[in-house]
Amino acid sequence: MEFDLNKRHCFYFNELCKIPHGSGNEKGVSDYLVEFAKEKGLRYVRDELYNVIIYKDASKGHEDSEPLIIQAHVDMVPEKNKDSAHDFLKDPLDLYVEDGFLKAKGTTLGADDGTGVAYMLAILEDDSLIHPALECTFTTQEEIGLIGSMVLKSEYFKGHRMISLDGGGEISTSISSAGGCVFKAYKKLHKEPSKGNGYVLMIRGLSGGHSGGEIHKEKGNANVLAARMIQELKDDSLRLVSIDGGLKDNAIPRECDLTFTSELERAELVARLDKSQKAIKEELEFSDGGFFYELKDEKHDEALTEKDSEDILNFIYLMPNGFMHRSMAIEGLTITSLNLGVIKTDADVMMLDISIRSALESGIDNLIGILTKLANILDFSYETSARYPGWNYSEVSPMRDKFRKVLKDLYAIDLVETASHGGCECGVFKALIPGIDIISLGPVAYDVHTPDERLDLASFDRSFEILKGVVKECA
Ligand SMILES: [Zn+2]
């Protein structure tokens, strides 16, 4: 299998790889798309974030069919190997083929989602295809928080059905995704001279994972476990100094350092921590068995006041965390969850960074409500940000039926339905266009978002046939 530039979807993917297009750096591709539209005499709009929509009228005789939105994001995750000299701001990707796979030397390939961009261009230029009116949408800054798609306006679209070319899997479509937001709680810190000895409780050995894909796996959250072990000390003399745990709001924290002072005998302290450790280890035996703690002596002349110490420990101890609700329609799908991903202590403020996810807006609202109440009771200030909508499962989907039929006709294969607790632009379109019917479609690629990313070239060809088949079914 070679990368045959005579095939138009391959040609356009190759063109795209010549233009740097890491997230936030989409102007070059956007200019290319506008030039393409002008050259082909197609109507287009471009907005302030460089999102581009190119319109094409229905093929002859299909003017009465409902318009079809096709969509892909133009940005890619710019990752490279440590020894790579690649400059993502100016260098073209260095493509090569190996065992039927297309790869980029030392970097991500951007098959996610450049394959979708290439498909749309190949479809837009082909006047021999049968299709309804097309609204081909090229979005920006997807990989850094669905930023481009969030500013799209409903007046750009007439269609109420869409093919998303992000995600892929060749024979599968998404049927649900999560919405979410970030909730940050802040505690202003008050300090006083400390009485007891100083310690650092270090939570270690946990496996972590993505708060979308792995939140249902009963993994230990280092931040939550640290607060729990301190609560279980039942030590009235204990005063917090600081808590620092986790790196990202959307990763389950693997490690946490909780610094405190205590007047308890060290041996007694260790005995009580050991007791908690034993219980937690048993709880996590089959999900996160590597868990352990270490206690380090560290002198501190100052600690937080009793009230601040209690408020903070109570907040973490009382807040819901982790898996909340499952779907009863889709086996194994998490509907709602939250993750206390990061706790950070600065000179006079402690920050808790929580990622909330739900396929339902009400699920997000409910968790914001609970955290807000807790923040008010325990004297925290708070803010929510980076909110994006979810895609809740619809039982009826004419688009899915068309996809199913095309797969059967072309390859005698059954359509696979997948649901995810991660976010995607489909949720944004669900919120933008009420009642929109969406499928996702695309070729098989592996290790996306890493320098090992590789595109199955045979799948790239087959998926294009499937796409053209579904577009024709929509005519
Ligand atoms: Zn993508």
Distance CA 23, CA 250 (A): 18
Bridge-based pairing state of the strands 52-56 and 43-46: antiparallel
The alpha carbon of 241 and the centre of ligand 1 are apart by a number of angstroms equal to 42
Is the pLDDT confidence value at 265 over 90?
yes
CA 164 / ligand 1 centre spacing (Å): 10
Q: How far is the CA of 167 from the centre of ligand 1 (A)?
A: 6
Separation of alpha carbons 223 and 271, rounded Å: 21
User: Is the sign of the CA dihedral 102, 104, 106, 112 positive or negative?
Assistant: negative
pLDDT digits (tens, 9 = 90+) for 404-458: 999 999 999 999 999 999 889 999 999 999 999 999 999 999 999 999 999 999 9
**Residue carrying structure tokens 């400059």:** 87
Q: How far is the CA of 71 from the centre of ligand 1 (A)?
A: 11
Under CATH, which architecture does the 8-177+391-473 domain have? 3-Layer(aba) Sandwich (3.40)
Task: For residue 302, count other CB atoms closer than 10 A to its CB.
Answer: 12
Distance CA 389, CA 393 (A): 13
pLDDT tens, 49-87? 999 999 999 999 999 999 999 999 999 999 999 899 999
pLDDT at position 167, please? 79
What global pTM score does this model have? 0.86
Q: Which tokens in the block code for residue 365? A: 């609202």
CA of 115 to the centre of ligand 1 (A): 10
Dump pLDDT digits (tens) for 348-397.
999 999 999 999 999 999 999 999 999 999 999 999 999 999 999 999 99
For residues 9-19, average pLDDT = 98
Ligand 1 centroid–CA 420 distance in Å is: 13
Answer whether residue 210 shows pLDDT above 80: yes
Are residues 179 and 387 in contact, defined by beta-carbon separation less than 8 angstroms?
yes
Higher pLDDT, 3 or 167: 3
**Residue 23 alpha carbon to ligand 1 centre in Å:** 11
Q: Tell me the angle at which helices 111-125 and 8-18 cross, rounded to the nearest 10 degrees.
A: 130
**What pLDDT, on a 0 to 100 scale, did the predictor assign at position 82?**
87
Please give the distance, rounded to the nearest whole angstrom, from the Cα atom of residue 314 to the centre of ligand 1: 39
- Using the mean position of ligand 1's atoms as its centre, give its distance from the Cα of residue 466 in Å: 19
Contact of 106 with 93, CB cutoff 8 Å: no
For residue 203, pLDDT beyond 90: yes
The DSSP symbol for 155 reads G
168, pLDDT greater than 80: no
Distance 309 CA to ligand 1 centre (A): 42
Mean pLDDT, residues 136-153: 96
Ligand 1 centre to CA of 112 (Å) is 5
357 CA distance to ligand 1 middle (Å): 18
CA gap 460, 462 in Å, rounded: 6
Distance 211 CA to ligand 1 centre (A): 18
Give the pLDDT of residue 1.
Answer: 81
Is the torsion defined by CA of 111, 112, 116, 121 positive or negative? negative
* CATH T-level assignment (fold) for domain 182-388: Alpha-Beta Plaits (3.30.70)
Given a cut of 80, whether residue 177 has pLDDT beyond it is yes
Token duo for residue 85: 């000299």
Give yes or no for residue 298 having a pLDDT over 80: yes
Compute CA distances 150 → 140, 352, 364, 388, 475, whole Å: 10, 26, 17, 8, 28
Residue 274 pLDDT exceeds 90: yes
Going from the Cα of 166 to the center of ligand 1, the distance in angstroms, rounded, reads 5
Q: How far is the CA of 117 from the centre of ligand 1 (A)?
A: 11
The rounded Å distance from CA 283 to ligand 1 centre is 36
Question: What count of other Cβ atoms lies within 10 Å of the Cβ of residue 307?
Answer: 11
86 CA to centre of ligand 1 in angstroms: 21
259 alpha carbon – ligand 1 mean position (Å): 40
Q: How far is the CA of 31 from the centre of ligand 1 (A)?
A: 21
Q: How far is the CA of 116 from the centre of ligand 1 (A)?
A: 9
- Mean pLDDT in residue range 218-236: 97
HSE, CB side, 13 Å, CA atoms: give it for residue 232. 17
Cα 434 to middle of ligand 1, angstroms: 23
pLDDT computed for residue 213 by the predictor: 85
CA of 358 to the centre of ligand 1 (A): 19
Ligand 1 midpoint to CA 437 (Å): 19
Q: Are strands 172-176 and 416-419 parallel, antiparallel or unpaired?
A: parallel
Provide the residue ranges of all domains of the chain, joining segments of one domain with +: 8-177+391-473, 182-388
The phi-psi region of residue 24 (left if phi > 0; otherwise alpha if psi is between -120 and 50; otherwise beta) is: left
The CA–CA distances, whole Å, from 386 to 21, 98, 367, 377 equal 22, 39, 15, 24
Centre of ligand 1 from the C-alpha of residue 73, in Å = 7
Copy the structure tokens of residue 377.
Answer: 């009771």
Phi, psi of 357 (to 5 degrees): -135, 140
261 CA distance to ligand 1 middle (Å)? 47
Q: How far away, in angstroms, is 180 Cα from ligand 1 center?
A: 17
Give the integer Cα–Cα distance in Å for 133 and 127.
12
Ligand 1 center from residue 89 Cα (angstroms):
20
Ligand 1 mean position, distance from CA 118 (Å): 14
Position 323 pLDDT exceeds 80? yes
